Structure 1
């Protein structure tokens, strides 16, 4: 058969895992499985022609080459250095193939698929990860079907199928976005799912792709860039009933620790005890750790501030991971911390909330504020709102962080879903637990208690009872944001006391939840 032309064909990258494993002792059927070499996998594929290095799919010959990691491993031994090796192989051969198939063990496949999704920036070709629950040489193995189908998705351009230019996982005839993947069964053939996003494609008699779900390639010129620097001084911490504050303190004092993925109950809830929240605040403010809140649940999302049991985390400085998987949150954090952003902790937290490659349903952009006429936003927090002093004016603190990805569209070119004003860490100076009463205006620095409420600049009136020693205000300002937040200038926020206000405020920002 003729050799396929330049830029056609698929490269298989073998990393190890169950799919290519054999018994460590050939004469002992109970000996442990260990990764074998690549040749056995290729020879098992129907339609593969070794002398031509081609595989016949739908009566068409597809060029098929294969490489392996320097030392194939069981996926339980995966680490950042192997992700870097995989990404380097893809970058080295990127111009030579139309797609890539990466063979991987199932135990940590969701971590690898998430890591590569963040590392391979501006990807325009399919990178399909697959594996199997049984080795390819065993009876009833799912390996052959998974590998052949993965090759078919990777060779979509040659075969006339819609191209999915993303890091994906193909398992049991379903194609999932890699950074949305969860392993849901230790041994079942339907071992993976994407609970918060439908499968991007499926393979039955025909290949089907849900093109409306596939990430679109930027019209602007881009090139593959690989984020090789990953900071793994991070951890995943699952909250459980009765977790001891001293355990949290010991974890947060770990030398070199830079970030924590906090796996919480339900929609992002956690204990509200003073002891628990003090340790979270210690981690954020004293240790400078980046905290992101994701749900322990298989499906759903974090809604910080919806219940009192998540408001404390919000006030402490924990950011929302929306509907990100724990695997995506962890690997995204490693990539962001590895960038060593100029803006430090705040820029890292802001970038963590952006939807970089389809890992979450929306992006969260933050408009930060500081006391007016103060250059260093840290130097004057907390600020005081008092009746005898009058309105408190806060000014925008720097530009909105929009990320550093090539071709990343401005937030103004996307759809505003919701906007919230967040006033966090509110304490009464007189130790009374009375009511919070004040008005909020945007770009009305001279507003008073008698200022009209019909203006677009009026955001709302706060009139609520204190719920504890520290309280927070979340105000839905979506309609006002749609009318007046054009970001053509720096914003000013004015709080007008309405009597009985003698409070300290720790932080103020506007959150814009925006879909691509």
Structure 2
């Protein structure tokens, strides 16, 4: 019996083709993908296509679109064995992270992929990304899905979605997972490292929690920054600060006074690192002690994309008991390592 995979096409470069007369890129009707890629009919799975009515550039993807994707997966969860989301590359890590928090009790694969070149380009990376993603989205052993989480497949690597970031706009190998090992790799053989796969310890039934709150602000600090700008911050519920190294910031008394005032206004402060690899460790350096003093929350080794979408999901979410700080510090679906403070 062939496994059934629902392919959700949201837009992006992968759904374009080049007009070789004009040299411009144009979208094609993704409902005709089997004509573009007859190889899909030879797959050991049945593929059903659901394109967005209006394909979107990934820069237009946000909470409403995350909810649309989650709703499609929920409505079709019992009818399909796996799900493949085709997505533009620029914000794919945000969408993968958001879905990882929204899809509760997931026991089937949800794979996201895209491409750096259009599917109609002679040198495209789209076909390999699409075909191998379908393989991973339909991979079962002993009637159980091997992958039971949200993942990104790109350029021969399968990565945990909420651990990824896009680091190259030029190379086919566009994504990295700096603080977590790869889940699988495509070569002569298609491999999975089962020790790295996520399993829901609660073993709850699948459901969608589509709560997203947008009262979040992300701010990257830099040398010579005028702290008076912080006073212009509206009363956001959560401020995510991207700081130096393992958690350092300017040591001036004005820094403490400014951040303490933000906290006194009721704003939660989450601290993440500007470094791609590694994480936050309060107390490692003197210039990080300020965050412990004001009651900031360590983002540990989370990516900025995961920290932002996790904060959006948790803030004012009635389904979570306890404080925002306690819930944010929990490892919900493999987005953090148990390290640092």
TM category (shorter chain) comes to over 0.9
Greater fraction helix: 2
Please tell me whether residue 15 in structure 1 is matched to residue 10 in structure 2.
yes
Superposed, 1:184-263 pairs within 5 Å as 184-218=167-201, 222-251=204-233, 254=234, 257-263=236-242
Q: Given the alignment of the two structures, is residue 292 of structure 1 paired with residue 280 of structure 2, yes or no? A: no
Per-residue deviation at 1:137?
A: 0.2
Match in the other structure for 2:140 = 157
Q: Which ranges of 4 or more aligned residues in structure 1 deviate by more than 6 Å?
A: 158-162
Name the counterpart of 2:166.
Answer: 183
Match of 2:288 among 290, 297, 310: 310
**Aligned residues of 2:12 and 2:58 also touching (Cα < 8 A):** yes
- Structure 2, unaligned stretches of length 5 or more? none
Between 1:227-236 and 1:78-87, the stretch displaced more is: 227-236
2:22 corresponds in structure 1 to 28
Between the two proteins, the alignment pairs up a number of residues equal to 341
> Which has the bigger relative contact order, CA under 8 A and spacing at least 6?
2
1:114 matched to 2:97: yes
Q: Secondary structure at the match of 1:94?
A: coil
Q: Secondary structure at the match of 2:276?
A: coil
Unaligned runs of 5+ in 1: 49-54, 363-416, 419-512
- Closer, same or farther in 2 for the Cα pair 1:279/1:206, shift >3 Å? same
Change in 2 beyond 3 A, CA 1:160/1:226: closer
After superposition, the C-alpha distances for 1:309-362 in whole angstroms (9 at most, x for unaligned) are 11002211211011000000000000001404787xx70011000000000012
Q: What corresponds to 2:120 in structure 1? A: 137
Deviations 1:16-65 (A, max 9, x none): 00100246x88532x4x4544313433332433xxxxxx323xx3x1110
Cα 1:259–1:217 change in 2 (3 A) is closer
SS state at 2:84 partner: strand
Q: Give TM-score scaled by structure 2 length.
A: 0.94
Superposed CA offset, 1:343-391 (max 9, x none): 7xx70011000000000012xxxxxxxxxxxxxxxxxxxxxxxxxxxxx
Is the Cα–Cα contact under 8 Å of residues 108 and 145 in structure 2 kept in the other structure?
no
Please point out which of 315, 318, 331 is paired with 1:337: 315
CA distance in 2, matches of 1:216, 1:19: 30
Deviation at 1:258, TM superposition (A): 1.4
CA RMSD of aligned residues (A): 2.2
Report if aligned partners of 1:200, 1:214 keep a CA contact under 8 Å in 2: yes
* Residues 69 and 86, structure 1, Cα contact 8 Å, conserved in 2: no
Q: 1:14 to 1:235 in 2, by over 3 A?
A: same
Distance 1:309 1:176 in 2: 34
Q: How does 1:399-478 map to 2 (within 5 A)?
A: none
Contact 1:176–1:199 (Cα < 8 Å) also in 2: yes
